[in-house]
A and B are shown apart, each in its own frame.
Chain A
Amino acid sequence: MQNAAEIVVQRLTKDYGRFRAVDDINFEVARGSVVGFLGPNGAGKTTTIRMLTCYMPPSSGQARVAGFDVFSQSLQVRQNIGYLPENTPLYPEMRVEEYLDYRGKLRGLNRTARKQRIAEVADRCWLTDRLRWLVGKLSKGYRQRLGIADALLHNPPVLVLDEPTVGLDPSQIREARKLIAELAGRHTVLLSTHILSEVELVCQRVIIIGRGKILAQGTPDELKQQCARAGAAGSRLLVEVRGPSDQVLSAIKALPGVEKVQVLADGPVQSLAVVGRLDAQLREQIAALVVQRGWALREMRIGGATLEEFFVQITDPGTSQAAA
């Protein structure tokens, strides 16, 4: 167990004055996996990442990255980590190649290793045609690629990417995700984000953090199940009916066990979300009702719990019981 975990965080805490940004968190990241670090803005994601990358020391608790302690073996940790900070700060006056060469020198790579690695990461991050460009002239997408190329340059076992897809256009986001998915296996990746679909696409595990605490962790499927269980009473029945809209709405509302009916799409065909006690009886009642009135039932299904619903539910300060 100890061997398989590349990042081990134990009782990690960070205080900014009286404000506790990260509160006694524990988690592990297995070697070679891609783990999503999810949370709303201001939840403590970046603070945690900054402690893991040795940018700032923890107030208490400890963390080990690639077997080294972030506080007492900071240089070794930094040698074994590739880090893409939020917003990708770069030197605008340097050329792409020049920047990567400089970064290689800082990581202690010799001349031949630098040349070889720069060619490799440039190829991998689709940067080859931009090597002679000034960094300041690159588009946001290319800057992000350069940041990832820099993180990969010394081939570190651990990669920490802080919101790598922010500010990219949809096709660039798809490329970035493809790249991150490719990195799994060879590298251990901790990916911070607040975009849920990203986590579902590329991560094997998810850690959800909110207000400095870990609220949930597991595989995306596990979290969805957990969500479905926790919110069984709140799940929805999606019904599509052709018929006069006001009558359909009032008739379904009148059925026993129905708490609320949301209209998702109106028109000759109504798409409704029914919230309430969704047992089989209700579904049969709705079907019978539709047939009895001579309307047409086009679709009826139980809406699957999405990760997004779970996320909103557990990170919303109003529903603190979900944290348990």
Chain B
Amino acid sequence: MSRIMAVAGRELKSLFYSPVAYIVLVLYLLFVGLLFSMLVFIPGELANPQPMFAWNHLILIFIVPFITMSLLAEEYRSGRIEVLRTSPIAEMEIILGKFLGAMGFYCVVIASSLVFVLTLVAFGRPDFHPIFTSYLGLLLMGSMMVAIGVFFSALSEHQILAAMSTCVTLVALGILVGFVRQLVPTSWFAATQIRHVLGYMAIESHMANFARGVVDTQNIVYFLTGTCLFLFLTYVVLESRRWR
């Protein structure tokens, strides 16, 4: 456990040493600010931050790849992976350490949006329950997104390639699946079932409940299985790269 925390701590610090972290933070604040000022902060309306959280994944899809891209890709490129893997640390400890380090930074990113919640509190009386569940949702959604990022970072030596493949996957899960679902013709065999499966795969459908203030185990299971699946796949990739 202490080894996992050592890797995670180093990774988190390292993210703050790089300019990418600050660019990511600024961009996130900029776009969440846009959502906030256009959809939430409207004089005379109810102080309801729900749209800001329901659309948050659209921003995070383009933010998370930059947090995770260097995690393992850079270790391979620089040759430091050799130092890491000849240390007395298990593969899964490396992966979990990297994952938690990136999650730490992700938490800082989503926590920065509290600025807008505070603004809302200053001008109105929002319901705190959905705000709390929204952050829980963002945390769970983020863990799946970061796990996907860790996975693609393990596949390549090039950070940009890792970032792009993460981004494509997240766009597919977060945006495209929702569109494709609409396009399935009702005349198809088992059209409703196909739509149902596609709907279950989409990130947005699971985030929407949390943003409304609903905590459904189905959504929690979705994000947690996604996280475990991609962390396990990362383990498989790391193991197989050893034999080459």
Known: A85-B79, A89-B79, A105-B6. A78 touches B14 (CB 8 A): no
Whether B80 pairs with A91 at a CB distance below 8 angstroms is yes
When chains A and B are docked, how far (Å) is the Cα of A102 from the Cα of B12? 13
CB closest residue in chain B, given A17: B244
11 contacts between A and B (CB under 8 A): A85-B83, A85-B86, A89-B79, A90-B80, A93-B14, A93-B18, A102-B10, A103-B87, A105-B6, A106-B87, A108-B3
B146 → chain A, closest Cβ, in Å? 21
Which of chain A's residues have a CB closer than 8 A to the CB of B6?
102, 105-106
Whether B10 pairs with A89 at a CB distance below 8 angstroms is no
Residue in B3, B7, B14, B82 whose beta carbon sits within 8 Å of that of A94 in the complex = B14
When chains A and B are docked, how far (Å) is the Cα of A6 from the Cα of B86? 18
A217 → chain B, closest Cβ, in Å? 25
Whether B90 pairs with A75 at a CB distance below 8 angstroms is yes
* A276 contacts the other chain (CB 8 A): no
Q: How many residues of B contact A (CB 8 A)?
A: 25
B177 → chain A, closest Cβ, in Å? 38
* B237 contacts the other chain (CB 8 A): no
B69 → chain A, closest Cβ, in Å? 16
* A79 contacts the other chain (CB 8 A): yes
* B217 contacts the other chain (CB 8 A): no
Residue in B80, B82, B88, B242 whose beta carbon sits within 8 Å of that of A106 in the complex = B88
Whether B82 pairs with A50 at a CB distance below 8 angstroms is yes
Which of chain B's residues have a CB closer than 8 A to the CB of A105?
2-3, 6
Interface 9-mer from A51-59, A231-239, A263-271: A51-59
Residue in B2, B78, B86 whose beta carbon sits within 8 Å of that of A54 in the complex = B86
* A81 contacts the other chain (CB 8 A): yes
A188 → chain B, closest Cβ, in Å? 16
* B85 contacts the other chain (CB 8 A): yes
CB closest residue in chain A, given B241: A56
The proximity string for A residues 60-90 relative to B, scoring 1 for CB distances below 8 Å and 0 otherwise, is: 0000000000000001101101010101011
CB closest residue in chain B, given A107: B88
Which of chain B's residues have a CB closer than 8 A to the CB of A81?
86
Which A residues lie at the B interface, using CB under 8 A?
16, 50, 53-57, 75-76, 78-79, 81, 83, 85, 87, 89-91, 93-94, 102-103, 105-108, 150
When chains A and B are docked, how far (Å) is the Cα of A81 from the Cα of B87? 8
B231 → chain A, closest Cβ, in Å? 20
| Listed residue (B14, B79, B88, B89) with the most chain A CB atoms within 10 angstroms of its CB | B88
When chains A and B are docked, how far (Å) is the Cα of A107 from the Cα of B7? 12
CB closest residue in chain B, given A150: B83
* B123 contacts the other chain (CB 8 A): no
Q: Which parts of B1-22 form the interface with A (CB within 8 Å)? A: 2-3, 6-7, 9-10, 13-14, 17-18
Known: A56-B243, A87-B79, A91-B14. A108 touches B86 (CB 8 A): no
Whether B80 pairs with A78 at a CB distance below 8 angstroms is no
Known: A56-B243, A89-B78, A108-B2. A83 touches B86 (CB 8 A): yes
A106 → chain B, closest Cβ, in Å? 5
A192 → chain B, closest Cβ, in Å? 14
Which of chain A's residues have a CB closer than 8 A to the CB of B3?
105-106, 108
Which of chain A's residues have a CB closer than 8 A to the CB of B89?
78, 106
When chains A and B are docked, how far (Å) is the Cα of A150 from the Cα of B86? 12
Q: How many inter-chain contacts with C-beta < 8 Å in the A-B complex?
A: 64
A75 → chain B, closest Cβ, in Å? 5
Which of chain B's residues have a CB closer than 8 A to the CB of A107?
87-88
When chains A and B are docked, how far (Å) is the Cα of A75 from the Cα of B89? 7
Which of chain B's residues have a CB closer than 8 A to the CB of A78?
86-89
Which of chain A's residues have a CB closer than 8 A to the CB of B14?
91, 93-94
Which of chain A's residues have a CB closer than 8 A to the CB of B83?
83, 85, 89, 150
CB closest residue in chain A, given B93: A106
When chains A and B are docked, how far (Å) is the Cα of A26 from the Cα of B82? 24
A121 → chain B, closest Cβ, in Å? 16
When A and B form their complex, which 10 residue pairs have the shortest distance between CB atoms, in order from nearest? A105-B6, A89-B79, A79-B88, A78-B88, A93-B17, A89-B80, A53-B86, A106-B87, A85-B82, A83-B86
A219 → chain B, closest Cβ, in Å? 29
Whether A57 pairs with B242 at a CB distance below 8 angstroms is yes
When chains A and B are docked, how far (Å) is the Cα of A90 from the Cα of B6? 16
Which of chain B's residues have a CB closer than 8 A to the CB of A89?
78-80, 82-83
| Listed residue (A53, A87, A105, A106) with the most chain B CB atoms within 10 angstroms of its CB | A106
Which of chain B's residues have a CB closer than 8 A to the CB of A54?
85-86
Which of chain B's residues have a CB closer than 8 A to the CB of A103?
87
B22 → chain A, closest Cβ, in Å? 14
Whether A55 pairs with B88 at a CB distance below 8 angstroms is no
Which of chain B's residues have a CB closer than 8 A to the CB of A83?
83, 86
When chains A and B are docked, how far (Å) is the Cα of A75 from the Cα of B3? 13
Whether A55 pairs with B85 at a CB distance below 8 angstroms is yes
When chains A and B are docked, how far (Å) is the Cα of A53 from the Cα of B2? 22
When chains A and B are docked, how far (Å) is the Cα of A83 from the Cα of B85? 11
CB closest residue in chain A, given B84: A106
Which of chain B's residues have a CB closer than 8 A to the CB of A56?
242-243
When chains A and B are docked, how far (Å) is the Cα of A100 from the Cα of B179? 51
B12 → chain A, closest Cβ, in Å? 12
